[in-house]
């Protein structure tokens, strides 16, 4: 640095470095060293949120994969209970209790088991796809829908769903998803 250069923010102070982004000269009090580049306050204010959001999206992606594993383990343990219940129903078939049980109640038991299984299956598959989509910054609406479905699964699903919605509805995050979607559509149309 040449000795006659002055800090952009403090003209009375001698500049000791330069912003790697905009080129303004900075004194020791003004320079912000972040991931090796030297940045001024203005550039730092522009760069920091995007890096924070990138970290949030990376965490969300990881949390969706973990959540998918947790739901799958829960579904497997619940499926074993369902199998025992079905075996019990089949075991009492022909007995007086089973014969007296209304047909609608039998259907209700099977329907509730099937709907819970399908809900869990959707959560597992949806969470895996949402985790991958968040990592790639694509399918914004799908990720919002999966987050909304996760909210119905207390307590981890609710926390993950609310956190995901809070992060994804930020205008800057939505803009990143939209830009990636437009780039993907352009590259698909050019390859045709």
Q: Which helix (H) or strand (E) holds 101?
A: none
Q: Kind and range of the H or E element at 31?
A: none
pLDDT digits (tens, 9 = 90+) for 127-168: 999 999 999 999 999 999 999 999 998 899 999 999 999 999
Nearest to 8 by CA among 35, 51, 37, 39: 39
Predicted confidence (pLDDT) per residue in 95-111, tens digit = 566 667 777 887 887 78
Tens digits of residue pLDDT in 161-191: 999 999 999 988 888 888 778 777 777 877 7
Do the beta carbons of residue 126 and residue 169 sit within 8 Å?
A: no
Summarize the confidence of residues 3-19 as an average pLDDT: 86
Q: Which residue has the higher pLDDT, 47 or 9?
A: 9
Token digits of residue 99:
């014969």
In the predicted model, what is the mean pLDDT of the chain?
84
Q: Which of 2, 33, 34, 35 has the alpha carbon at shortest distance from 16?
A: 2
Flag whether pLDDT at 9 surpasses 50: yes
Q: Is the pTM of this model over 0.95?
A: no
**What b-and-e string marks burial along 133-155, b requiring 16 or more CB atoms within 10 Å of the CB?**
bbeebbbbeebbebbebbbebee
Q: What is the pLDDT of residues 63-86, one digit of tens each?
A: 999 999 999 998 888 888 877 777
Q: What does the pLDDT read at residue 1? A: 47
Q: Which residues contact 90 (CB under 8 A, 6 or more apart)?
A: none
């Amino acid at each position: 640095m040449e000795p006659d250069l002055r800090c952009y923010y403090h003209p009375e102070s001698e500049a000791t470095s330069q912003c790697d982004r905009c080129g303004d000269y900075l004194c020791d009090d003004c320079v912000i060293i972040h991931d090796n580049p030297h940045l001024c306050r203005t550039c730092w204010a522009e760069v920091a949120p995007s890096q924070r959001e990138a970290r949030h999206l990376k965490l969300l992606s990881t949390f969706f994969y973990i959540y998918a594993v947790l739901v799958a383990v829960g579904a497997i343990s619940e499926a074993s209970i369902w199998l025992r219940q079905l075996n019990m129903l089949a075991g009492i078939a022909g007995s007086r209790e089973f014969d007296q049980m209304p047909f609608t109640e039998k259907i209700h038991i099977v329907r509730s088991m099937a709907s819970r299984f399908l809900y869990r299956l959707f959560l597992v598959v949806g969470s895996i796809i949402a985790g991958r989509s968040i990592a790639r910054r694509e399918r914004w609406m799908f990720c919002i829908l999966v987050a909304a479905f996760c909210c119905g699964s207390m307590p981890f699903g609710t926390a993950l769903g609310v956190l995901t919605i809070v992060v994804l509805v930020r205008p800057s995050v939505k803009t990143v998803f939209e830009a990636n979607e437009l780039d993907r559509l352009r590259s698909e149309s050019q390859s045709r």
